[in-house]
């Protein structure tokens, strides 16, 4: 018997190790459980088997394979309505592109507050801590 994957809130899809670690630290500090992925296939697998992913945070340029736009499209096919925040160091990626109501676009570098505000604007808020018995 296989156990279900533990629940987590956010998948961070970023191919740069340092950027991925910083993003993960920021989001965890906000109270979210995070799964980090280095490529689209890994991120999509984590989302497919998750017990409750509430946000995909993805870089657009991911090296070989699917880019962030294609990964997000595939994730939203698996989980319609999944919010996505796209990150890029190339502002031209946002040119002539329409983003849906469940999508945000941030240009690197950005401030922590901008990321948190983008998450909240999508209705992605930190989980409420569960009260312990006797509290």
pTM here?
A: 0.87
Residue by residue, pLDDT tens for the chain (135 residues) are 444 444 568 999 999 999 999 999 999 998 899 999 999 999 999 998 877 789 999 999 998 999 999 999 999 998 889 999 999 998 787 788 889 999 999 999 999 999 999 999 999 987 765 544 554
Number of domains in the chain: 1
- Look up residue 52 and give its two tokens: 């409750």
Question: Cα Rg for the chain, rounded, in angstroms?
Answer: 15
> Residue 132 falls within a domain, yes or no?
no
Domain containing residue 61: CATH number: 3.40.50.2300
C-alpha pair distances (Å), 8 with each of 3, 31, 36, 71:
15, 11, 11, 18
The per-residue pLDDT for 8 is: 62
Asked whether residue 5 is domain-assigned, the answer is no
The answer to whether position 128 is within a domain reads no
* Containing structural domain, residue 94: 10-121
């Amino acid at each position: 018997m296989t156990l279900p994957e533990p629940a987590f809130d956010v998948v961070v899809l970023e191919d740069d190790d340092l950027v991925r670690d910083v993003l993960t630290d920021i989001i965890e500090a906000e109270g979210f459980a995070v799964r980090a992925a280095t490529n689209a296939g890994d991120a999509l697998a984590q989302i497919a088997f998750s017990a409750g992913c509430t946000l995909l945070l993805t870089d657009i340029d991911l090296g070989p394979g699917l880019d962030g736009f294609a990964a997000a499209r595939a994730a939203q096919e698996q989980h319609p309505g999944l919010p996505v925040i796209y990150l890029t160091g190339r502002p031209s990626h946002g040119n002539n592109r329409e983003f849906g109501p469940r999508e945000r676009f941030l240009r690197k570098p950005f401030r922590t507050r901008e990321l948190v505000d983008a998450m909240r604007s999508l209705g992605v808020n930190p989980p409420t801590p569960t009260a312990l018995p006797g509290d």
